[in-house]
Structure 1
Amino acid sequence: MSYLFPNYQRKKLEFIKGSKNMLTDHNGKNYLDFTSGIGVMNLGYNDPDLNQVLADQTILLWHTPNLYQNHLQEQVAQKLAKGKDYVGYFCNSGAEANEAAIKLARKATGKRKIITFTNSFHGRTYGAMSATGQESIHAGFEPLVPDFIYLPFNQIEPLKEELDQDTAAVMLELIQGEGGVIPADEQWIQDVQSLCREFGALLIIDEIQTGIGRTGAFYAYEHYQIEPDIFTLAKGLGNGIPVGAMLGKSNLGDAFGQGSHGSTFGGNKLAMSVANKVIDRINQSAFLEDVQNKSEQLFSGLDQLAKRSSLIQAVRGKGLMIGIQLFDQNSLNQVSEQLEAEGLLTLKAGQTVLRLLPPLTITNEEMAKGLTILEKVLNKEKEHD
């Protein structure tokens, strides 16, 4: 008997320790991690700098409520703004960050309708779940928060028909992660921003999985020559320490005045000390250029593998956020299990996509090893042709 709710489909596997880009299970077996804990461990495991920062802060102070000044919150918010006109709010998770964004958009505009997109994923709290465009996520929890509209991703005509003066916001991921690693088209994103400005709707970008260097830019929106009104962060921001953030244009500040929103633990000193160091490490041109170079190496290898494998339909993504589209769900399940048996951890996305999210600190040698394992598993059928 387990004393836990069965809401997670857990593997019969427990990891006991991690070092750099490797994990070790309870039997002592080592695994190359191409999941980063679902896009969290961007700097890998057991990083000495982050360990030291956290240890130093534990000696000073773990927690004070947001009734008092917090210089670490100010530092992190300033760094996340990157010299632009943004102010920040801190919480504990991506879902909470998206809840804050939804509340801010409705309060700031005085409107209720929010447009999101099919196959999106924004979290599992009620507001974030209602923003998520997947019926399987909604099942059994209706009625949802009202006035969310779901439209086809990467299609501008449906958006032109729906977006109007009553729209508070358009909310989207620049790469739909859980939905199958589907990148947004650059022209479509720019058209979305133009329509939002035309009708006075806010543009909310969910950067929870794409942010903090994952795509080779510190924020994925920087690839698209846009500037959102609101964007949200979590996952890689704390490298395993629970933290979320919402940033919005400073002119939205009046809508989030005293008493409008809050979190007991949000922005606590442990999380902020680590986030502060994570930003310093990742938001460097040399580091981000290295991510782009690694991305080119990984995509090149995967594109060559796709030509040889009868299982692969397409390879897509950006930076070190990659989806391998397989032909059917059975193949995905079998491939995932075989890769794990070979010592490579991967993720699933949608029904038929193998998702790769290696740490940004992955080495060229480790990527070559991962590609060798992927070749062994994904090219098996060719051996019998």
Structure 2
Amino acid sequence: MSDYRKIDAQYYMPAFSRTMMIRRGKGCTVWDDDGNEYLDLVAGIAVCSTGHCHDDVVKAICRQAGELIHCSNLYYVPGQAEFAEKLAKVTNLSQVFFTNSGAEANEAALKLARLATKKTKAVSFIHGFHGRTLGSLAVTHKPGIREPFEPLEPKCSFVEYGDLEGLRAAVDTDTAAVLLEPIQGEAGIIIPPEGFVEGVREICDEKGALLIADEVQTGMGRTGTWLAMHQTKVMPDIVSLAKGLGSGFPVGAIVAREGLAFKKSEHGSTFAGGPLASAAGMATLHVIESLLPGIAAKGERFREGLARWNPRVCGLMIGITVGEKCPEVQERCAEKGIIVNCAADGNLRLVPPLIITEAEIDRATGVINEVLTEICS
């Protein structure tokens, strides 16, 4: 076996902090290059929604790979129209444009908002995360990753999450869109106060701005409904999706309400919505459809199992405030065979595969309780 750490250090830009190689995965379990086994509660950061290497998704990808791997969007792409139809129907929206990632989806959403409104500015929220490409970074709050690349477009104002009066003051006559995560994922599973999402919709309507719901992390059943927005009374103008949409295959999308769509030559992509992406995405949607009825109960089992630590729970998004010892908790859990993740501000984030079983939840909460008691009590 090659000394991949040495090769990586020499040839791969050191943009990531990594300690292990995950060599293989099946269901909610992964194995590292030393053969150690882990229960995965991170799922590639909410990506492997149907678990690792779900049989239906693997078969769909392999079947399509044997027929056609790539066909540019100069032509009708096999499976793309059917995938778009299914996605529009489960989101209760109208039309789809596929992308390769969540950042690309948010870029597309911003472009569409500017085209539709003829306005140029955006408003987003403190601790919000929308991507690392230049456009998506412009609307991402975290100063440490945004400020080195300023000035950025679109010009964006940042408002405290939950502050409707601050939002009303920030949205002006040149605001094309407000970008909202229904639950802030990278911030550590921050759930908004009651009525906040409805208030954002009202302000957008008052000011003539579009509401873009960034459901890259919350979408595709993660919270127990197809979209987290489906748990509110609000219909967004545009939804951005990725992560759990392809079970690990790179798939993203925007889905827009009726009357919002790119016209010919206003947007494009060589790879987006290709044959493999469409096959993986369609298979993923069918699997999630069968899982949806049980997701809320699984979240409640996590809540009960971790009740001592006051977890924030919505479906299978679970956050626990740990503080500065969060990295130590993450490391100790891994030593005990459970992969968890530290998001921003010392918040422990759990976003396991949607297929996780009751027995796996109980095993996970047992270890997490043990580690938190050991380190944080």
**TM norm structure 2:** 0.95
Higher mean C-alpha displacement, 132-141 vs 115-124: 132-141
Q: Distance in 2 between matches of 1:183 and 1:76?
A: 30
Higher mean C-alpha displacement, 88-97 vs 162-171: 162-171
2:313 to 311, 317, 320: 317
1:340 to 334, 338, 344: 334
**CA displacement at 1:2 relative to structure 2:** 2.3
After TM superposition, where is structure 1 displaced by more than 4 Å over at least 4 residues in a row? none
The SS at the match of 2:328 is: helix
**CA displacement at 1:71 relative to structure 2:** 4.7
The SS at the match of 1:228 is: coil
Q: Which amino acid aligns with 1:297?
A: R
Q: Distance in 2 between matches of 1:289 and 1:184?
A: 23
Q: 1:117·1:152 contact (CA, 8 Å) conserved in 2?
A: yes
2:263 to 257, 260, 265: 257
Q: 1:182·1:317 contact (CA, 8 Å) conserved in 2?
A: no
Structure 2 residue aligned with 1:310:
none
Q: 2:84·2:96 contact (CA, 8 Å) conserved in 1?
A: yes
Question: Are 1:122 and 2:116 matched, yes or no?
Answer: no
Q: Distance in 1 between matches of 2:172 and 2:313?
A: 31
The equivalences for 1:5-16 within 5 A come to 5-11=13-19, 13-16=20-23
The SS at the match of 1:76 is: helix
Question: Are 1:188 and 2:184 matched, yes or no?
Answer: no
Q: Distance in 1 between matches of 2:258 and 2:86?
A: 15
Q: Which amino acid aligns with 2:18?
A: R
The equivalences for 1:287-302 within 5 A come to 287-302=291-306
Q: Which amino acid aligns with 1:359?
A: P
Q: Deviations over 1:210-236 (max 9, x none)?
A: 001100111110011211000010000
Structure 1 residue aligned with 2:277:
271
Q: Which amino acid aligns with 1:135?
A: P
Q: Distance in 2 between matches of 1:283 and 1:110?
A: 38
**CA displacement at 1:70 relative to structure 2:** 2.4
Structure 2 residue aligned with 1:311:
none
**CA displacement at 1:146 relative to structure 2:** 4.0
Q: Deviations over 1:214-263 (max 9, x none)?
A: 0011111001121100001000000110111011123122xx21111111
Q: Deviations over 1:329-371 (max 9, x none)?
A: 1x11111110011110011111210100111100100111101
**CA displacement at 1:376 relative to structure 2:** 1.5
Structure 1 residue aligned with 2:58:
51
| Structure 1: runs of 5+ lacking an equivalent | 307-313
Q: 1:175·1:317 contact (CA, 8 Å) conserved in 2?
A: no
Structure 1 residue aligned with 2:87:
80
Length, aligned pairs only: 368
**CA displacement at 1:117 relative to structure 2:** 0.5
**CA displacement at 1:111 relative to structure 2:** 0.3
Higher mean C-alpha displacement, 159-168 vs 52-61: 159-168
Q: Distance in 1 between matches of 2:326 and 2:250?
A: 30
The SS at the match of 1:88 is: strand
Q: Which amino acid aligns with 1:64?
A: C
The SS at the match of 1:337 is: helix
Q: Deviations over 1:23-79 (max 9, x none)?
A: 011111100000011000011112111111111101110111101112522111111
Q: Cα 1:201–1:381, aligned 2, differ >3 Å: closer, same or farther? A: closer
Q: Which amino acid aligns with 1:107?
A: L
Q: 1:186·1:224 contact (CA, 8 Å) conserved in 2?
A: no
Q: Which amino acid aligns with 2:284?
A: V
Question: Are 1:371 and 2:333 matched, yes or no?
Answer: no
| Structure 2: runs of 5+ lacking an equivalent | 1-8
Taking only aligned residues, the RMSD between alpha carbons, in angstroms, comes to 1.4
Q: Deviations over 1:252-275 (max 9, x none)?
A: 22xx21111111000000010010
The equivalences for 1:39-188 within 5 A come to 39-82=46-89, 84-188=92-196
Higher mean C-alpha displacement, 82-91 vs 100-109: 82-91
The SS at the match of 1:53 is: helix
Q: Distance in 1 between matches of 2:119 and 2:321?
A: 38
Q: Distance in 2 between matches of 1:52 and 1:67?
A: 27
Structure 2 residue aligned with 1:209:
217
Q: Distance in 1 between matches of 2:375 and 2:16?
A: 32
Question: Are 1:33 and 2:29 matched, yes or no?
Answer: no
Q: Distance in 1 between matches of 2:188 and 2:23?
A: 29
Q: Distance in 2 between matches of 1:3 and 1:71?
A: 37
